[in-house]
Structure 1
Amino acid sequence: MTEVLDDAAVDRELATRDGWSRSGSSLTRTWQFKGFGGAMQFANVIAWIANQSGHHPDIAVHDYNRVTVTSTTHDVGGITEHDFALIGRIDDRTREF
């Protein structure tokens, strides 16, 4: 079973990630787009990545042109290596946005 990372490990990993922050026991990031279509296209890419990864974050499209992704490992109630692996895949795949 995957274990929750301690605060120091989370902080070390976050220091290497642009735009991501901790929100309680989750990792979160918000992107802004020119319009609703771009936000929805981006959200669909995130959904595809999540399905391929088998790790499913919360994806919120809000304020017309913003997407917020929040990742936690629900099974253990905190941030794990699975969350950092997922946000790494998200970052790699979404740089063109």
Structure 2
Amino acid sequence: MNILLDQGWSEIDSKLVKNYLLPNFIEAINFINLVAKEAESIDHHPDIMLYNYKNVRLTLTTHAKRKITKKDIVLAKLIDKVYDSMKVF
């Protein structure tokens, strides 16, 4: 999990949390939709918050376990790959 913390993820209240800045509203929505597809593909769903029109905050935890599990780590890595593939900046 240390690698995730090195890549901007934080552990807050037994959850992985990361904020992403996108260039505009459309790209932020695009990112959310791509994250949703990845999450659905592994049947593990993050909490997603869009704020200030181009900022996305993702929160990952395994609700049934009330802690961070391997599923959260896998999804976090997938989310980072999605963001990196967008080449938004």
Normalising by the residue count of structure 2, what TM-score does the alignment of the two structures yield? Answer: 0.88
After TM superposition, what 4+ stretches of structure 1 lie above 3 angstroms from structure 2?
A: none
Distance 2:36 2:50 in 1: 12
Please say which structure displays the higher CA radius of gyration: 1
| Residues 71-90 of structure 1: pairs in structure 2 closer than 5 A | 71-90=60-79
1:94 to 2:83 alignment: yes
Extract unaligned runs of 5+ from structure 1: 1-12
Extract unaligned runs of 5+ from structure 2: none
Q: Deviations over 1:64-96 (max 9, x none)?
A: 110011000001111111110111111223212
Distance 1:82 1:76 in 2: 11
Q: Deviations over 1:5-64 (max 9, x none)?
A: xxxxxxxx1x21201111111001001112111110001011111000100010111111
Equivalences, count: 84
Q: CA RMSD in A?
A: 1.0
1:40 to 2:16 alignment: no
Normalising by the residue count of structure 1, what TM-score does the alignment of the two structures yield? Answer: 0.81
